[in-house]
């Protein structure tokens, strides 16, 4: 077994050595493996970790956002909300506690399982429905939701044509006058420098045994896309995991036009989270769009 592991390790190193100079966006990968059971369990631990906001914002910041969202989306008890890429249900459950009925969609099995448990423990399971599904496959046309959330930059992991399709899906799911909130990185503040880094660990997002992580970042100016390629060598087995993450960025004018094309004639953009005191507020732009009355 040791010889087999050493052989795989050598093969993995040669594969990295012979890697393409630059991956092709959404062809050589584009998103994290959220739907893999083991990865989703490790990612859930990152969501629950209150020492950082890399997966989910810490609870104090979420409360600030939720106050803002209730105001901008005009959320009232009895309203129906669609939470797209809902993760472990933090926002959905809180809004259900405020009297809303919420449908949350995410394709991470561990996150959806946790969201259901959270709703049960908070006494709002009757107002929360959590669906384990790729959001590209969701179909809530004609459901007349009062509002929808698509936050923490998750629209950006889809190529532009799919992002447009998702905006259209959401517009069709809302009632007349329904509102959508989308949170995206400020294109002007995205890291546009190529870089690389590495580290070793034996626990965390990439596994619970010794591994070597090699990371690369690329900026594709012609496509306004940021890419990260992660090479993870599992040292006990020699296995190599390669993951490519794409983030499509948008100028404010472009996103506003996409929303209008999708069926939202009214769009307001709020740079820096409308000055909500988040630690990284300057990195974000929040859009609130409304369907015709």
Task: Kindly give the confidence (pLDDT) of every residue in the chain, 293 residues in length, as a single tens digit, with 9 standing for 90 and above.
Answer: 578 989 999 999 999 999 998 889 999 878 899 999 999 999 999 999 999 999 999 999 999 999 999 999 999 999 999 999 999 999 999 999 999 999 999 999 999 999 999 999 999 999 999 999 999 999 999 999 999 999 999 999 999 999 999 999 999 999 999 999 999 999 999 999 999 999 999 999 999 999 999 999 999 999 999 999 999 999 999 999 999 999 999 999 999 999 999 999 999 999 999 999 999 999 999 999 999 99
Q: Under a CB-based contact definition with an 8 Å cutoff, are residues 231 and 214 in contact?
A: yes
The residue ranges of DSSP E strands in 76-235, in sequence order, are: 80-84, 101-106, 128-132, 145-150, 174-185, 195-201, 211-220, 225-234
Cβ atoms of 251 and 142 closer than 8 Å = no
Residue position matching structure tokens 């409360």: 63
Tokens standing for residue 257: 């036009």
Count of CB atoms situated within 10 Å of the CB of 287:
22
Structural domains present in the chain: 2-19+191-248 (2.20.25), 49-188+251-290 (3.40.50.150)
At 145 the three-state DSSP class reads strand
Structure confidence at residue 1 (pLDDT): 58
Q: How far is CA 135 from CA 52, 79, 94, 184, in A?
A: 26, 22, 21, 17
Of 159, 223, 229, which Cα lies nearest the Cα of 194? 229
Q: Which of 186, 185, 136, 175 is nearest to 263 (CA)?
A: 175
Cα 180 to Cα 170: distance, rounded to the nearest angstrom: 8
State the DSSP code for 24.
P
Q: What are phi and psi of 156, to 5 degrees?
A: -75, -15
Cα R_g (the chain), whole angstroms: 20
């Amino acid at each position: 077994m040791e010889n087999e592991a050493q052989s795989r390790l050598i093969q993995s190193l040669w594969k990295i050595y012979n890697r393409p100079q630059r991956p092709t966006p959404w062809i050589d990968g584009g998103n994290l493996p959220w739907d893999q059971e083991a990865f989703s369990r490790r990612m859930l631990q990152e969501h629950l970790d209150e020492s950082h906001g890399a997966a989910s914002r810490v609870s104090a910041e979420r409360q600030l956002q939720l106050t803002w969202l209730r105001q901008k989306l005009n959320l009232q008890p009895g309203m129906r909300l669609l939470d797209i890429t809902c993760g472990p249900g933090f926002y959905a459950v809180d809004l259900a506690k405020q009297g809303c009925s919420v449908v949350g969609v995410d394709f991470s099995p561990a996150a959806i399982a946790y969201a259901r448990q959270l709703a049960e423990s908070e006494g709002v399971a009757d107002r929360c429905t959590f669906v384990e599904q790729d959001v590209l496959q969701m179909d809530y046309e004609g459901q007349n939701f009062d509002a929808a959330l698509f936050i923490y930059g998750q629209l950006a992991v889809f190529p532009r044509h799919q992002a447009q399709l998702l905006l259209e899906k959401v517009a069709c799911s809302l009632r007349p006058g329904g509102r959508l909130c989308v949170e995206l990185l400020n294109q002007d503040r995205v890291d546009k420098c190529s870089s690389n880094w590495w580290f070793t660990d034996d626990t965390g997002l990439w596994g619970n045994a010794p591994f070597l992580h090699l990371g690369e970042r690329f900026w594709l100016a012609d496509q306004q896309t940021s890419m990260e390629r992660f090479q993870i060598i599992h040292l006990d087995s020699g296995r190599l995991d390669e993951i490519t993450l794409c983030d499509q960025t948008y100028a404010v004018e472009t996103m506003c036009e996409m929303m209008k094309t999708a069926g939202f004639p009214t769009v307001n953009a709020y740079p820096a989270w409308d000055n909500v005191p988040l630690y990284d507020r300057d990195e974000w732009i929040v859009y609130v769009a409304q369907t015709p009355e």
